[in-house]
Amino acid sequence: MSFSKDFMWGVATAAYQIEGAYNEDGKGLGIWDTYSRLPNTIKNGENGDISCNHYHLYKNDIKLMKEMGIKNYRFSISWPRVFPDGIGKVNKQGLEFYSDLVDTLLENGITPLVTLYHWNLPNALQRKGGWLNPESSDWFADYTKVIVDHLSDRVTYWITINEPQVFVGLGYKDGVHAPFYKLPTSELTQMSHNILLAHGKAVRTIRQYAKKKAIIGFAPTGPCSIPHSRSTEDIEVARKCSFALDRDNFIFTNSWWGDPIVFGQYPEEAHKALGEDMPSINPGDMAIISEPIDFYGANIYQSQNAFATPKYPGQPVTSLGWAITPEVLYWSPKFLYERYKLPILITENGMAGCDLVHLDGRVHDDYRIDFLTRYISALKQAVEDGIEVMGYMHWSFLDNFEWAKGYAPRFGLVYVDYLTQRRIIKNSGYWYKKVMGTNGESL
């Protein structure tokens, strides 16, 4: 057994990281538009005001996708582009942009996968308390309905929320992402609960109002631990570690987010670790949160126990310092599938490099080809061992704004010259075209 005939090969992006046009055509400001202007927050004082200018260049970018043989494109909607104030009046030009984007994708034989929230909360809602406001889940449901009303006649695949571990953990716990807060544990747990409610209400909204069959999931970061050996004992230790949580790290874990969505309850460990700081749960909340989904998305880059520092001196790392651990694309899908019994979609995987245009005018990123060969081969082994994997979305289609790290890290299969907006398909882009075209047999 190898990748299924309907395996979904594709690429992924996020609105704030590529669109630019931050204040054009009626768009409101999001927290990244606003808070990235604070001093000493973003490397080199950079921001996403222009970025890849995808808002104006999307048709050319989609032509590039077609040239590269891309059949699936995961992108996100900018909430403040559609609702400048987060709620209330809809910005029709913002909606038209995404409608035109979907039409152009379909005209080029590319399936859209829509992510509803990828971090750029409308700033007007942040001023109302943001995700701590008990009304926040209803705000998200209302926003979701507008998107579904306008796109669901053409969109089948929906992802509610991207990486809650990261935007809560880095944005509201560690204070290194927008809005750069450091909140107490009791507020972090309640915020998590509100976000989970937002997810559940969005699922219900999509199911109720979608004009065609909807396939729905969410996209947490999903790294698991790698066992030291293939012994039964070591595998069970790694499995337990992959879903363990304690008071200090609960925000970043798999189980804090996955268990409520799939099982309808918080992990038993969470109650023990957090005690009185557990969120306030109203009757019916957990039924909303656990509204059935169709797949479990997972953004996976490195193993769980490689996040803080490399495990040994000289361990290979990417330009962001992330450990290169290809086996994680075997063990994470395996552990997540065995625990949650849902098809796995790799919603992000890739590596940051220090790419440059060589004298011959090309971008020779053969190290990325080696990286991806190792990782996708591990995923292929998971499939061959019976793990149900729907597809693989490479992060990213384009080089882009990498949040607090600015523009130096380059994740794209396509190089972007940010001064001229010139695009160059990297060697890895041509390699990935062959992988997709052969359904992974060329690995």
The residues that are catalytic are: 163, 348
**CA 252 – CA 340 distance, rounded (Å):** 18
Q: What are phi and psi of 409, to 5 degrees?
A: -70, 130
Return the SS3 of 14.
coil
- Between CA 29 and CA 47 the distance in angstroms is 13
List C-alpha distances in Å: 387 to 143, 224, 281, 337, 345: 34, 15, 34, 7, 11
Residues 187 and 129: their CA atoms lie apart, in Å, by 11
Give, in order, the Cα–Cα distances in Å from 122 to each of 2, 59, 127, 275, 289. 43, 26, 9, 32, 23
Of residues 116, 149, 138, the one with CA closest to residue 198 = 138
| Helix residue ranges, H only, 252-309 | 254-263, 268-274, 285-289
189: which DSSP letter? H
Question: Would you tell me the crossing angle of helices 427-437 and 366-384 to the nearest 10 degrees?
Answer: 20
Task: Calculate the CA 52 to chain-centre distance.
Answer: 18
Count the neighbouring beta carbons within 10 Å of the beta carbon of residue 340. Answer: 18
Q: Are 36 and 44 in contact (CB under 8 A)?
A: no
Distance from C-alpha of 412 to C-alpha of 396, rounded to nearest angstrom: 5
DSSP state of 316: -
For residues 112 and 75, give the distance between their C-alpha atoms in angstroms, rounded to a whole number: 7
3-state secondary structure of 390: strand
User: Binding site residues for substrate, as ranges?
Assistant: 17, 118, 162, 301, 395, 402-403
- How far is 204 from 193, CA to CA, in rounded Å? 17
- Residue 187 corresponds to which amino acid? E
Token pair in block for residue 67: 């040239």
Binding residues: 17, 118, 162, 301, 395, 402-403
Give the span between the Cα atoms of 258 and 168, in whole angstroms: 15
Query: Which two tokens mark 159?
Result: 């992802």
Nearest-10 crossing angle of helices 254-263, 232-243: 80
